[in-house]
Amino acid sequence: MADDITFAGFNAEIDKAFQSAWHSERGGSENWVNLLNSYGVNPLSKEDKEYLLNSEMKITRGAFPIELRRVYEKIIEKYSASQDEQLRSAISNFDMDSKVKEYYQKIKPFSGLGDIFKNAATGTAKYSEGLQKAKQLTIKCKNCGAPRLEEMQYDNCLFCGSKLFERTT
């Protein structure tokens, strides 16, 4: 199916993945899981989803950013062997972290509603500030700002999949 490996095909698949994630209900839907399956991507475990839904990374709709990232990765893998110059440059310019962040901006609460969450989060922040003082260290995702608990043994951000973390004391 080499004739499918075109610039237009690449864009169409990226767009379809984005739309499908975005139109999915909060935390994913059956359609979304089907799309993940079609790419051979494992969805987050039930425990991880539960953890994220109760975390400070509020979302109002859509699949989790890290799952969209995993689909993007598969699409890029599929198209990366192409010799087409336009396609090659689209792939090399594909900024995964910012694409995933862009998606996250669309599924997080609107600013008006965000203030409510922000206020609620302030309480949580104060609480966790206390915890952090006790720990003297927090690690946050540089891309989406999700807190990372040291004792959780995952290499990439559980929320958006970024490898980049920054330490703040």
Using CB under 5 A, list all residues that contact Zn ion: 141, 143-144, 146, 157, 159-160, 162
Residue 160 near residue 69 (C-beta atoms within 8 A): yes
Token digits of residue 10: 């690449």
DSSP-assigned beta bridge partners for residue 141 = 165
Q: Provide, rounded to whole angstroms, the least separation between the CB of residue 94 and Zn ion.
A: 18
In the bound state with Zn ion, the residue whose beta carbon lies nearer, of 14 and 160, is 160
In the bound state with Zn ion, the residue whose beta carbon lies nearer, of 16 and 163, is 163
4 contacts: CB under 8 Å, gap ≥ 6: none
In the bound state with Zn ion, the residue whose beta carbon lies nearer, of 13 and 97, is 97
Q: Provide, rounded to whole angstroms, the least separation between the CB of residue 7 and Zn ion.
A: 29
Beta-strand ranges (E) seen in 62-146 are 138-141
Q: Provide, rounded to whole angstroms, the least separation between the CB of residue 5 and Zn ion.
A: 30
Q: Provide, rounded to whole angstroms, the least separation between the CB of residue 104 and Zn ion.
A: 8
The one-letter amino acid at 67 = E
Closest by CA position to 159, among listed 142, 135, 137, 136: 142
In the bound state with Zn ion, the residue whose beta carbon lies nearer, of 11 and 109, is 109
Q: What are phi and psi of 141, to 5 degrees?
A: -70, 130
